[in-house]
Amino acid sequence: MTMKADKMTRATVAAGSAALILFLTTGCSTKNYVRSQAAPIIQQTNELDARTASDHRNIVDTDQRAQAGIAKAQGAADAADQHATVASQAADKAQASAKDAYNRVDTLTGVVANLDNYKSMQDVSVTFGFDKSVLSASDKKQLDELAANLQSSKHYILELTGGTDSTGDAQYNYALSQKRADAVAYYLQSKYDIAPHKFYLVGIGKDQEVASNRTAEGRKQNRRVQVRVLSNMQDENNMTAKAGQ
């Protein structure tokens, strides 16, 4: 009885040991399997996190560069605006200075010394649109042709008589006729470097019509600036005589 019980006990212990070994072996295998399956997922997750972080850095870097570029472009635009403003102010100042130097008269009589010694050398009339004081392309062409003939002359003056048609208030038309004369004088002075003191501007408004204001064509002719080139023939003759001595 005792021997039989002892055999049974040893068998039980052996069976238990085998079961324990099997359990431990199975547990290790399961952990290894789980680890082998989880490793690629963890690696992919880490790679994804790394790419996400890199993309974020790239986005931030690109945005910073873009903001820097925008700021630089804005700075350049602001500088250009400032330069344009300064240039415009300088041009306005130069134009104002030139206008201040023009002779503004009602007539040349009693204003120009020895007027009888001056002879009319050329006469050009340019016309303007209704209520306008801006030179057209054809106006500029006529003035260019007139100026070309002045290049070899020194002793001359320019009489610019501005006029209007009969439409509108008299005082308004006086001012408009002056603006038209100013436009012609400034074009010639700035483009051909004619001294401002050579200009004598006369604004007559609607006082002296050159054509009937009853027709559209007549009113167009009255919206004009008549440019007359007067040369001091006595000075020219004196210069010629001195050159011949």
Instruction: Give Rg (Cα) of the chain.
Output: 49
Two tokens at 79? 């500088």
Two tokens at 59? 């986005």
Q: Give strand pairing partners of 163.
A: 205
Mean pLDDT confidence for 117-121 = 90
What is the pLDDT confidence band of residue 48, given thresholds at 50, 70 and 90? confident
Q: How far is CA 178 from CA 123, 133, 203, in A?
A: 19, 9, 5
Give the strand pairing for 224-232 and 118-127. antiparallel
pLDDT of residue 12: 64
pLDDT digits (tens, 9 = 90+) for 33-44: 656 766 777 777
**Res. 234: pLDDT tops 70:** no
The residues near 189 (Cβ < 8 Å, ≥ 6 apart) are 98, 195, 196, 199
Give pTM, 2 decimals: 0.58
Q: What is the rounded CA–CA span in Å between residue 116 and residue 132?
A: 35
pLDDT of residue 100: 65
pLDDT digits (tens, 9 = 90+) for 196-225: 999 999 999 999 999 999 999 999 999 999
pLDDT digits (tens, 9 = 90+) for 54-90: 777 888 778 788 788 787 878 776 776 665 554 444 4
Buried b (16+ CB within 10 A) or exposed e, 191-201: eeebebebbbb
Two tokens at 22? 């099997």
Q: What is the rounded CA–CA span in Å between residue 230 and residue 200?
A: 11
- The number of angstroms, rounded, from the C-alpha of 193 to the middle of its chain's C-alpha atoms is 26
pLDDT of residue 88: 45
Whether residue 222 contacts residue 165, with contact meaning beta carbons closer than 8 Å, is answered with yes
pLDDT digits (tens, 9 = 90+) for 136-168: 999 999 999 999 988 878 889 999 999 999 999
Q: What is the rounded CA–CA span in Å between residue 97 and residue 141?
A: 25
Q: How far is CA 59 from CA 42, 52, 166, 209, in A?
A: 26, 10, 70, 74
